Chains A and B, each alone.
Chain A
């Protein structure tokens, strides 16, 4: 079973539109971390945010915001007023197994976002 599901394979929006990228995860651990990474066309993954399982506070960073809901096992990412430079593949990731020491870092399959001018 897929532990990190990004159901949206590709999304296209017009510049200045808002867009939400979905991430649903699955874990039995009580302590875990969730991440979002961006992979622009240049290829290098860039860390965006880390959230631990005990902190459900939403976070906003400029045009980016993240909504973490344990009740639905989701960690969604919203870009407000999208720009062409936001075009990239976005990956959601889960780090689990921290309690047992058998760390696993699992990436979703990614969502390709295309922002059209």
Chain B
């Protein structure tokens, strides 16, 4: 089975721009979660989608949004980028929900200049 894939792997954006990151979960997995990882804050939960519905959201501003498609693929969007948004963004898929183990993608390294 193919693992979780994330595209692009690296991005450099300018402050004020917006960015869209993509995640393809493991086949058969219906739950997709997004995390932001930074050296200072560690792994912080952004949101989780299950069957195209956002089930839970972390404490991030509204500039961070996401969606899930009928094939379980997910995208997250960050608008009006700030320098502090520079981070590794990780996507994780799970069979059903977060009582199950999550399988992580390699992440997208976003640098905001």
Residue of A nearest to B58 (CB): A104
Binding site secondary structure of chain B: strand
**A/B pair count, beta carbons within 8 Å:** 52
Binary interface encoding of chain A residues 22-44 relative to chain B, with 1 for a CB under 8 A from any of its CBs, else 0: 00000000000101010000111
B contact residues around A107 at 8 Å (CB): 35, 42-43, 45
B contact residues around A50 at 8 Å (CB): 100-101
Q: Tell me whether B49 is interfacial, beta carbon within 8 Å.
A: no
* B42 with A109: CB separation less than 8 A: yes
Binding site secondary structure of chain A: strand
* A105 with B33: CB separation less than 8 A: yes
Show the binding face of A for B, using Cβ within 8 Å. Answer: 33, 35, 37, 42-47, 50, 91, 95, 98, 102-110
Residue contacts A-B, CB under 8 angstroms, 28 given = A33-B99, A35-B101, A35-B102, A43-B88, A43-B107, A44-B104, A44-B105, A45-B90, A45-B92, A45-B102, A45-B104, A46-B104, A47-B101, A47-B104, A50-B100, A50-B101, A91-B43, A95-B98, A98-B99, A103-B55, A103-B56, A104-B98, A105-B33, A105-B45, A107-B35, A107-B43, A107-B45, A110-B42
